[in-house]
Amino acid sequence: MKTPVLFTFLSFTQILVITILPFTSADLVDYTCKKTPHADFCISALRSDPRSSTADTATLGLIMVDKVDANAESTVTKIKDLLRKSPDRGTKQALTSCEESYKYCISALVPSSKESLTKGDPKFAVDNMRQEAIQASSCEEGFGGKSPLSGSNDYENKATSVAAAIASLLL
């Protein structure tokens, strides 16, 4: 008599866990993103990564840092292409400055941010991502008007702001 009751209880528990588990991760993404400066961007960026479905807050921060890194990598590629095509000296100078900033992000800010989030010391991730947001804004301003990198710089600003906000939740 006790075996069917135990079996029913275990089955019910498994069904409950299977149904609720995906919603808790989605709720964590929503909950976390609502505490960032670009909530819709945050939700979209995090949900596009399958790791977010089982992530804790630190992992959500790592996912956003990965988004920053991927954007920086693609921006450097775009800059190299633009440098080959641009005859204007002022544009080349602005592009070169942007390239240096994005390369610094890739080589120093991203790895340090990932390490600080992984080791449970998110202060460095907050500082690094804020620094990269400033550098992306400076890149944009370096063109003195119409920038060929506006889309990339805007994405970088949003991604770094969100990454910094998520990391600050861990302080």
Give the model confidence (pLDDT) of 67-104 as tens digits: 999 999 999 999 999 999 988 999 999 999 999 999 99
**Which residue has better confidence, 110 or 9?**
110
> Residue 55: how many CB atoms within 10 A of its CB?
19
Per DSSP, the three-state class of 144 is coil
Over the chain, what is the mean pLDDT?
Answer: 90
What mean pLDDT do residues 109-127 have? 98
- Quick check: 70 and 148 in contact, CB under 8 A? no
What mean pLDDT do residues 58-69 have? 98
Reported as a pLDDT band with limits 50, 70 and 90, residue 25 is: low
Query: Is the model's pLDDT at 19 over the cut of 60?
Result: no
Q: What is the pTM of this model?
A: 0.85
> Residue 44: how many CB atoms within 10 A of its CB?
11
Per DSSP, the three-state class of 170 is coil
